[in-house]
Chain A
Amino acid sequence: MSAGAVRDALAAVRAAGHRLRERDPEEILDALGDVLETWRDPDSAVRRALARELPSATGFSEAVVERGLTLALEPWTRDAFRELWRQEAGPGATGFGTTSVLLAGAIPMPTLLALLAPLALRSGVIARAASRDRVTARHVAASLRERDAGLADALALVEFETHDRDALDAFLGTKCVVATGSDETVAAVAHRARGHVVSRGHRLSVAVLGETADLAAAAGSLALDVALWDQLGCLSPVALYSLGGRNRAQQAASALAAALASIEKTLPRGVVPTGAAATIAHERSDAELRSASAGEVGLHAGDHWTVVAERDDRPRSAPLHRFVRVHPVPDMPALAGALAPYSRHLAAIGCAGVELPGDYGASRVCALGEMQAPPLSWRQDGIGVLAPLICT
């Protein structure tokens, strides 16, 4: 798509957004609520289409797509969406005339929400689909078209080459840009954008295990959080901090390994790109060698998962695709110290058998097994979903 075509699409959604702002907000919320309900229904046409198309488009297994969608969409009801709107927006709140949304990653729920949120504020939306998921956005558009043509007209999906700076500049020529990515990338977008920028930078999540938590139960729940979306989401735990010392951490690692081996049977891992596989192989060898050198490091590895029982809480690389490091932490102050390097980038902390004294910078603290199902009211990055999109 050329820069001119992007500008044409932008002009069309600008006009459609203008028409949206002349409509009753309640009517729009009703329509968006209906779309959400359709997406929640596992037997709906859109859900069947997603289950059919997402695995090949994203590399996730069919079981992961189905279970992940069901779990995550369950709390995203029509009523929950209205409550979100009431809490973060309310009567009279409107978005910018147009909003650009750069879609990221391969997980469908963030895409769904990123597209519906500006529409709820009656802003026209121009969006570019993520390269790993060209399916979800298309189905959001189709769902809107089926329910409300006016809303559908206010959403334009555009595609252009990554190196086409003219098209990028045309795309960023809106009053509001939602940008996700690395801190450097978000900064680069902010530099090029001419309007208000909503930044969603690097995020990762971790798990914390209390000293007396039931290991098998916690490991089973954590394995679900890890297996869903193959650790590729910002809510996927990349590390487990085990309170109570090294022995306990090693036991936790063994339990998690058993749970990941078990869950692989029902939620098989998807496709792993060669580069990620190379990183995983490298990090497995690294753990092997460190274990051979000084002991106190344990490697548990199956064909499609890896657990490393670390000897300390030093941050290490996270290859993802079901690769979890288990770090021992003796007590809460040590946990705070261990999480400090992540604090700016923490999305969520999943807990079992422990009450955290604070959030350590995370915008979500929840039980293990629930990490992949945030409520709509989750104030992602501490700024919420609708609030940062409101034109004040």
Chain B
Amino acid sequence: MSGDIGRAALDAQLLAWMAEPWQDDDSRFESTARAVFSHQFAHCTPYQRFCRGRGVTPDSIENWDEIPAVPVGAFKELTLHSFPSESEHHVFRTSGTSSEARGELHLDTLALYEASLLPSFERFVLAGLPGRARLCVLAPSPAEVPDSSLSHMFGVVLAAHGDEASGFFVKEGELQLPALLAALECAGPVALCGTAFSFVHLLDSLAARDQRLELPTGSRVMETGGFKGRSRELARDDLYGSLEARLGVGAESIVNQYGMTELGSQFYDTTLHEPGAPRRKLGPPWTRVRIIDPQTGASCAPGETGAIVLHDLANTGSVAAIQTADLGRAIEDGFEVIGREPGAEARGCSIALDEMLERR
């Protein structure tokens, strides 16, 4: 019988795991995943009904990969949490326009979220930097956008690892270029982090001034997200080429983060952590990624393209298993994100021209 050990015990187990040195442990993941599933099955009624509809209960599963995953889009219109509504403490929302629904992650505590993000960031982005370093963030501060999980993440990282001149360099949607350039005047290596579109704004601003920077040796860039109509779009290779040309940071020192508001943990490129090894994404030990055949639900063979399903045990307060519409493929012990099928409503019978003009 798979019983619910209760939220406090679950969170305590996970917080302890997150405080330990990084170590993958399949058996620990298995037992914790089952415990999290039991709790969420018991306390998130829509999820329980969803699982029952598929004939799955905590007692029926033999492995964590049988735990049903909820579609990420459901967070746009359902409140999926595994705690009493009156305990709600914080809500993170996905970016979006006022006319479109935004996904929401409801939290009763930020403790797990904050504890989960740091080990990954330290391992994959800050590798080789001193305990406190110059961290420049191309995103608004959490004070300006309290419902942004990304800004909150950067706030936690800055508090833990930023030096006195580190900070946020986007205010009210505007890049604070003079202040950023001053902060980048640093003797030691710099970590420049932000959304992909904010880097485009930075590159365009530097181009307008015909300015090229040469960031100190050991500097790195962390970028995340897409462009979403907020800047001109650049293929990732083009973005990285431009970053190298304008900032002096090569692709081997650029890390892409794969994350989403609906998750408590993030996944990062291994380029800084394992220089020279194939670029792939890894997450912390309390996460697992499955690449599945979307038509059968079966796991894809390594290298085969499929849909990405994420299991993030840091999501104790909502649902840990998330089904995305993103495509990816497994590479060694990690994975690569390939992208997403364009929105169907934007297709009609006019596909080829879009293909023709799309940037690669």
Shortest beta-carbon distance from A228 to chain B in Å:
12
Near A by CB (< 8 A), chain B positions 326-348 give 326-327, 339-341, 343-348
Asked if B327 contacts A105 (CB within 8 A), the reply is: no
Per-residue CB proximity of B75-99 to A under 8 Å, as 1/0?
A: 0011000000000000000000000
Q: How far is the CA of A292 from the CA of B78 in the complex (A)?
A: 11
A181 interface hit (Cβ, 8 Å): yes
Residues of A within 8 A of B339 (CB): 275
Q: Do the beta carbons of A275 and B360 come within 8 Å of each other?
A: no
Instruction: Please state if A286 and B71 are interface contacts (CB–CB under 8 Å).
Output: yes
Identify the interface centre among B323, B340, B357: most chain A CB within 10 Å of its CB. Answer: B357
| Chain B 313-332 near chain A by CB (<8 Å), digits 1 or 0 | 00000000001111100000
A277 contacts chain B at the CB level, 8 A cutoff: yes
Contact indicator B49/A281 (Cβ below 8 Å): no
- Please, how many angstroms separate the alpha-carbon atoms of A276 and B344 in the complex? 8
B357 engages A292 (CB within 8 Å): no
Whether A278 touches B341, Cβ cut-off 8 Å, given contacts A107-B349, A130-B352, A185-B354, is yes
Within 8 A of A (CB), among B215-234: none
> Which of B49, B305, B306, B323 lies in contact with A282, CB distance below 8 A?
B323
CA A273 – CA B325 in complex, angstroms?
A: 13
Query: With A163-B359, A182-B346 in contact, do A293 and B49 touch (Cβ < 8 Å)?
Result: yes
B348 contact from A106, A188, A202, Cβ within 8 A: A202
Contact A232 B78 (CB under 8 A): no
Q: Are A181 and B70 in contact (CB under 8 A)?
A: no
- B349 and A105 contacting across the interface, CB-CB below 8 Å: yes
Most A CB within 10 A of own CB, among B73, B78, B350, B360: B350
Q: How far is the CA of A238 from the CA of B324 in the complex (A)?
A: 22
How many A residues, CB 8 Å from partner?
Answer: 61
Q: Which residues of A contact B8 (CB under 8 A)?
A: none
Evaluate contact between B294 and A132: CB separation under 8 angstroms. no
- Residue contact B348 to A345, C-beta cutoff 8 Å: yes
Instruction: Decide: B71 and A104 in contact? CB cutoff 8 A.
Output: no
B348: chain A residues at CB < 8 Å are 202-204, 233-234, 345, 347
Whether A53 sits at the interface, judged by CB under 8 Å, is no
- Residues in B with CB closer than 8 Å to A189 are 353, 357
A163 and B360: CB pair below 8 A?
A: yes
Residues of B within 8 A of A286 (CB): 71, 73-74
Given A132-B351, A162-B360, A189-B353, A274–B71 Cβ distance below 8 Å? no
Chain A nearest CB from B225 CB (Å) reads 19
Contacts A278-B307, A281-B323, A347-B348 given; indicate if A292 touches B355 (C-beta within 8 A).
no
A280 → chain B closest CB, angstroms: 7
A365 touches B (CB below 8 Å) = no
The interface on chain B, measured as residues whose beta carbon lies within 8 A of the other chain's beta carbons, has a size of: 50
Nearest CB of B to A131, in Å:
5
B358 contacts chain A at the CB level, 8 A cutoff: yes
| Cβ distance B304 to chain A, nearest Cβ, rounded Å | 9
Chain B residues near A77: list those with CB within 8 A. none
Please tell me if A195 contacts chain B, counting CB pairs below 8 Å: no
Chain B 286-307 interface mask (CB, 8 Å, partner A; 1/0): 0000000111010000000111
Q: CA of A105 to CA of B54 in the docked complex: distance in angstroms? A: 36
B46 sits at the interface (CB 8 A)? yes
CA distance A179 to B325 in the complex (A): 29
Question: Do residues B359 and A102 form an inter-chain contact, with CB atoms below 8 A?
Answer: no
- Across the interface, B49 reaches (CB within 8 A) one of A106, A203, A292, namely A292
Which residue of the partner chain B has the closest CB to A234?
A: B349
Is residue B50 contacting chain A, with contact meaning CB distance below 8 A? yes
CB-CB under 8 A from A57, the residues of chain B are none
The reply to whether B70 and A285 form a contact with Cβ atoms under 8 Å apart is yes
Q: Give the 6 A-B CB pairs with smallest separation, nearest first.
A: A275-B341, A181-B353, A130-B352, A292-B49, A293-B46, A278-B307
Query: Measuring CB to CB, which residues of chain B are less than 8 angstroms from any residue of chain A?
Result: 45-50, 52-54, 69-74, 77-78, 293-295, 297, 305-307, 323-327, 339-341, 343-360
